[in-house]
Amino acid sequence: MPSPDLEFWFDLASNYSYLSVMRIEAAAQHADVSVQWRPFLIGPVFEALGWEGPPFVVQKEKGAYVWRDMLRQCRKYGIPWQQPTVFPRRAVLPTRIAVLGADEPWMPAWCRAIMTRNYGEDREVDTPDAVIEVLEQLGLPAQRIVEDALAEPNRQRLRDATREARERGIFGAPTFFVDNEMFWGNDRLEDALEAACARAPR
């Protein structure tokens, strides 16, 4: 019998997406749920909603809380954490690579490596040198992947994914879908997995 499905919409520049990217694969395997990784860009979604940027950048009090919260959450899950000196740190090229590799077995490892570099090491992720370094560490053909990621058909795939996120009603990252039921936020990952299991055919 096939495993139930969970759609995982995330942004590689999103700090709360970092928490889910780092733990969803193990959690889904434990629940016997199949994950569809759906990278997109949250920035254009914020713009469409009339927001000037992430709420905790616009509102400094919320921002101060979020960084403390991230420290607590990373300690809770045993995830590396170093508050980034640049936020939000641009991650368009890594996201294009994630879109390119959406159906490849290396895609989750790519996302974890990029997000650890950003949020665990406070290092640049959006330059060719940075992504080539990570790709080579994963044993992947770096130059070919970067060239394919920068090609217009793949750029369009990312634009299409971001448009679909807006059409689906996504307003933040990470977001999970079980069928058409939305669960927003890293703290709803377990609820989404439970819902996926509950809807699985018996």
pLDDT digits (tens, 9 = 90+) for 57-77: 767 888 889 999 999 999 999
User: Residue 9 and residue 144: Cα distance in Å, rounded?
Assistant: 26
Residue 84 makes CB contacts below 8 A (sequence gap 6+) with 118, 119, 122
User: Residue 23 and residue 26: Cα distance in Å, rounded?
Assistant: 6
- Considering the candidates 3, 14, 17, 20, report the single residue annotated as catalytic: 14
Number of domains composing the chain: 1
Q: How confident is the model at residue 54 (pLDDT cuts 50, 70, 90)?
A: confident
Helix orientation angle between 107-115 and 15-31, rounded to the nearest 10 degrees: 140
pLDDT digits (tens, 9 = 90+) for 86-130: 999 999 999 999 999 999 999 999 999 999 999 999 999 999 999
Share of the chain residues as helix, strand and coil, in percent rounded to the nearest 5: 60, 10, 30
Q: Note if 14 is an active site residue.
A: yes
| CATH at residue 159 | 3.40.30.10
Contact between 5 and 170 (Cβ < 8 Å): no
What 3-state DSSP class applies to 66? helix
User: What range does the domain containing 163 cover?
Assistant: 5-198
Scanning the structure block, which residue is given the tokens 């018996």? Answer: 202
